Amino acid sequence: MENKWLNEAFKGEVPSGFQGKVSWASPSNIALVKYWGKKEKQIPQNPSISFTLSECRSETFISCEKADRFGFSFFFEDKENPAFGAKIEKFLLENQAFFPFINQLNLKVESRNTFPHSSGIASSASSMSAFVMCLLDLERSLSLRSLRPIEGSKGRPLDINSQKASYFSRLASGSAARSVFPSMALWGATDCYKDSSDEYAVSLENDIHPVFKTYRDSILIVSGEQKSVSSRAGHALMEGNPYAPARYAQANDNIKTLLAALKSGDLDTFINITESEALQLHALMMCSSPSYILMKPNTLNLINEIREFRQETKIPLCFTLDAGPNVHLLYPESEAEKVEYYIKNVLADYCARDRWIADHVGEGPKKLQ
Residues 37-96 that bind ligand PMV (CB under 6 A): 48
- Position 173 contacts ligand PMV (CB under 6 A): yes
Q: Pinpoint the alpha helices (H) of 8-123.
A: 82-94
- Position 34 contacts ligand PMV (CB under 6 A): yes
Q: Which is nearer to ligand PMV, 32 or 109 (CB)?
A: 32
Among the listed residues 231, 254, 274, 299, the single contact to ligand PMV using CB under 6 A: 231
CB of 63 to ligand PMV, least distance (A): 27
Residues 326-365 that bind ligand PMV (CB under 6 A): none
Among the listed residues 26, 124, 241, 299, the single contact to ligand PMV using CB under 6 A: 124
Exposed, middle or buried: residue 164 (CB in 10 Å: 0-12, 13-18, 19+)?
buried
Centroid of chain to Cα 223: 20
CA distances from 153 to 10, 37, 160, 274 (A): 11, 36, 11, 41
CB of 134 to ligand PMV, least distance (A): 19
Q: Which is nearer to ligand PMV, 41 or 344 (CB)?
A: 41
CB of 300 to ligand PMV, least distance (A): 18
Rounded to an integer, what distance in angstroms lies between the CA atom of residue 328 and that of residue 325?
A: 10
By rule CB under 6 A, what count of residues binds ligand PMV? 15
Contact of 33 with 49, CB cutoff 8 Å: yes
- Position 274 contacts ligand PMV (CB under 6 A): no
Centroid of chain to Cα 155: 33
Rounded to an integer, what distance in angstroms lies between the CA atom of residue 165 and that of residue 158?
A: 13
Contact of 161 with 5, CB cutoff 8 Å: no
The overall longest dimension of the chain from CA atoms, in Å, is: 68
Q: Which is nearer to ligand PMV, 235 or 247 (CB)?
A: 235
- Beta-bridge partners for 203: 185
- Position 251 contacts ligand PMV (CB under 6 A): no
Q: Which is nearer to ligand PMV, 140 or 170 (CB)?
A: 170
- Position 174 contacts ligand PMV (CB under 6 A): yes
CB of 191 to ligand PMV, least distance (A): 20
- Position 35 contacts ligand PMV (CB under 6 A): yes
Q: Which stretch binds ligand PMV (CB under 6 A): 51-59, 172-180, 214-222, 245-253?
A: 172-180
Among the listed residues 175, 179, 218, 298, the single contact to ligand PMV using CB under 6 A: 175
Q: Which of 29, 23, 31 is nearest to 274 (CA)?
A: 31
Q: Is 96 helix (H, G, I), strand (E, B) or coil?
A: coil
Number of neighbouring beta carbons within 10 Å of residue 186: 27
CB of 43 to ligand PMV, least distance (A): 12
Rounded to an integer, what distance in angstroms lies between the CA atom of residue 250 and that of residue 248?
A: 5
Site string for ligand PMV, 184-213 (x = CB under 6 A): ------------------------------
Q: Which stretch binds ligand PMV (CB under 6 A): 77-85, 92-100, 154-162, 168-176?
A: 168-176
DSSP state, residue 270: H
First to last CA, the chain: 30
Contact of 47 with 251, CB cutoff 8 Å: yes
Positions touching ligand PMV (CB under 6 A) are 31, 34-36, 48, 122, 124, 173-175, 231, 235, 281, 322-323
